[in-house]
Structures are given as C-alpha cells and as structure tokens.
C-alpha cells in the first residue's frame, strides 16, 4: 500500500525562453548536444563488478558522507561524461551534493563482459548502484535520469513504490510509452533520419563487438542490415534481455502505465516539441498524481532547453533540477 504523499512545498518554475535562433526543436536538440561543456571537476573513475560478473563504470564527485548524494543515469548510447551529465554533475556539486555518474553496461570505456547490456526498463544496475552508494554514504540519496535513463528511473521508482531507496528524483525528456517514440524515429526523414542513423551506427558497432566476443550470439548480417530501431530491438535488445519480441520489450519497459505507483517526489521535465518524445505521448495524468511535479514546456527539444544566445547559451534545466532536489533533502 502506498503511503500518503508528504506536504509538497511550492515549487516555482521560471518560464523557459528558447535562445535566439534556437526556437525549433531540432536546433535546440542539436545545438545542446554540441554546446554543453563536457569538462568535469576532479572526479574519481571507478569500476564496479556486478553480482552477475559484469562491470559498471562510474564517475564519482566526492562529498562528505553525511551530504546528499545523487545518481545520474544517461540516455540511449550516451556516456557518463556526456555534456548534459557533466553540466548536471557540476551544478549539483556546486550545491554541495555528491554525485555518482553511472555508465550503463557497454557505455563505458571498454566493452562489458556479458552478452547483455542495458535497456529502458532495466532497473537492476541502477538499484545495485544505489546499494553501493548507500554502503558508503549516510546522507539522503536522490537520482536524475535523462531520456532512456529517465525511463529506467521512473520504472525503478514505480516498481519499488513505498520502499524506494531514494528520497526524491528528477527526469528530463523521459519517454513514457516506448512504442510511439520508436515509431516517430523509425518513420521520420530529415533530422529524424539523422537521429535514427546515429543511434543505429553506435548500436551496430556494439553488436559487431558482441558477435566477435560471443560467436554465434547474433545473426550479424541481419543486424547490420537493420534500417529501423524496432528491427534492431527485435534482433538484439529483445533476445539478449529475455523478451519475446521488440513489442514485448516496449510494452514491458514503458513507465507510463506505472506512474501511479510512484511514492517519492519526482520532477518531470518534458518539452511539447521534443522530436523523440512527442508531446502527444506525455500522459494526461501527470498533473493528477500527487508525487509528481510536471514541468511541461512548449519548446525545448530533447534534453536541450537552451536559453540566452548561441554565443552565450544558458542551460535551463540543471539549476531547476538542483533546486527541486535540494527542497527534498533539506533537514
């Protein structure tokens, strides 16, 4: 049985004003991908062996054991040191929050050891990481997930309910229903085709490496011939992670139907013009669920939200996420 929501303090959200010349969703998305600075403060690079014999890589920004600590979860085929991960890590660190930025299996500096990797509904590694963090720190734990990492985080919070090991969380540009998000990527031309081909290029490169390490694991010719993400998921993601098909994977891993089970405060940031998570796929129930604080903007693209000007960009969601989390870890 889920507990009653706590008193949710008022949370003021400044309007998002797209940077001049970057109003379109593709301009936002592509500019942000290149413009967010990737420099890191001094971090500790760690490798964690998982219970099943694999390895996770982590970037750790230390803080005192009693301070709040955050786990960061990146998006599809991204990295622990991607621009949005780096800017969020720095902003949280400046606020006195320790950070563990997790690279999902196969997204670190070297291939992972097992045939499996990661997917939008896989919460085991995030839960394992939280357990490792809790063994080292005493302060409250929070988490931030981006895109696919946001899906992982929402699924984790929903599945653990009132026993969730976090006091609060935030997600940015998370998908709620994987089927239409994959469909919009697979059908689209122009910029959408660029996004699709970029994902497929990276995914196929890893599939080739998997087949080299585990001969006979995949029908590599069919994988390399795949022209859609659904086809790739049918041939690789689903069978390697125990799903009957790509459709089974999408239906089992979509967080939208489980949102009512969440029992921790969560900030949800999405743009209506997101080219990968279309506004039409955002559940209408977000504003009715007591633990959720949705921030839905007209513009902002996918994990972008760039204000200011192209020469002097300002990144909007990082301070918003930090302020929300600080509200819920204050003594």
Residues involved in catalysis? 147, 274, 302
With H, G, I as helix, E, B as strand and everything else as coil, classify residue 187: helix
Q: What is the DSSP string of 28-75?
A: HHHHHHHHS-----S-EEEEEE-TTS-EEEEEEE---TTS-EEEEE--
CB distance 121 to 155 below 8 Å: yes
Angle between helices 317-329 and 83-94 (to 10 degrees): 40
What is the C-alpha separation between 24 and 190, in angstroms, rounded? 14
Q: How many angstroms from the chain centroid is the CA of residue 25?
A: 19
| Residues 6 or more apart whose Cβ sits within 8 Å of residue 38 | 81, 82, 83, 86
Strand spans (E) along 194-291: 266-271
With H, G, I as helix, E, B as strand and everything else as coil, classify residue 91: helix
CB distance 28 to 304 below 8 Å: yes
């Amino acid at each position: 049985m889920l507990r009653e929501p706590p008193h949710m303090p008022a949370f003021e959200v400044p309007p998002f004003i797209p940077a001049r010349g970057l109003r379109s969703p593709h301009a936002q998305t592509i500019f942000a991908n290149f413009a967010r600075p990737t420099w890191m403060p001094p971090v500790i690079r760690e490798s964690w062996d998982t219970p099943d014999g694999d390895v996770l890589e982590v970037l750790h920004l230390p803080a005192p054991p009693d301070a709040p600590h955050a786990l960061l979860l990146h998006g599809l085929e991204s990295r622990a040191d991607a621009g949005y991960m780096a800017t969020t890590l720095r902003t949280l660190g400046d606020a006195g929050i320790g950070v563990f930025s997790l690279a999902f299996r196969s997204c670190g500096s070297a291939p992972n050891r097992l045939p499996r990797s990661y997917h939008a509904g896989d919460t085991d590694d995030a839960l394992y990481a939280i357990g490792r963090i809790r063994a080292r720190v005493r302060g409250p734990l929070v988490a931030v997930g981006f895109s696919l990492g946001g899906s992982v985080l929402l699924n984790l919070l929903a599945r653990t309910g009132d026993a969730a090991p976090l006091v609060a969380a935030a997600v940015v540009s998370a998908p709620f229903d994987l089927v239409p998000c994959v469909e919009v990527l697979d059908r689209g031309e122009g910029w959408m085709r660029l996004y699709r081909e970029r994902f497929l290029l990276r995914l196929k490169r890893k599939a080739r490496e998997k087949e080299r390490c585990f001969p006979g694991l995949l029908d590599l010719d069919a994988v390399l011939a795949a022209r859609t993400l659904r086809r790739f998921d049918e041939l690789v993601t689903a069978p390697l992670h125990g799903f009957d098909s790509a459709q089974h994977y999408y239906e089992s891993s979509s967080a939208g139907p489980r949102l009512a089970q969440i029992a921790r405060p969560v900030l949800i940031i999405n743009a209506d013009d997101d080219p990968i998570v279309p506004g039409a796929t955002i559940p209408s129930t977000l504003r009715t669920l007591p633990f959720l604080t949705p921030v839905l903007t007209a513009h902002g693209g996918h994990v972008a939200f760039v204000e200011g000007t192209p020469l002097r960009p300002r990144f909007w969601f990082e301070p918003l996420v930090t302020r929300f989390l600080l509200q819920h870890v204050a003594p």
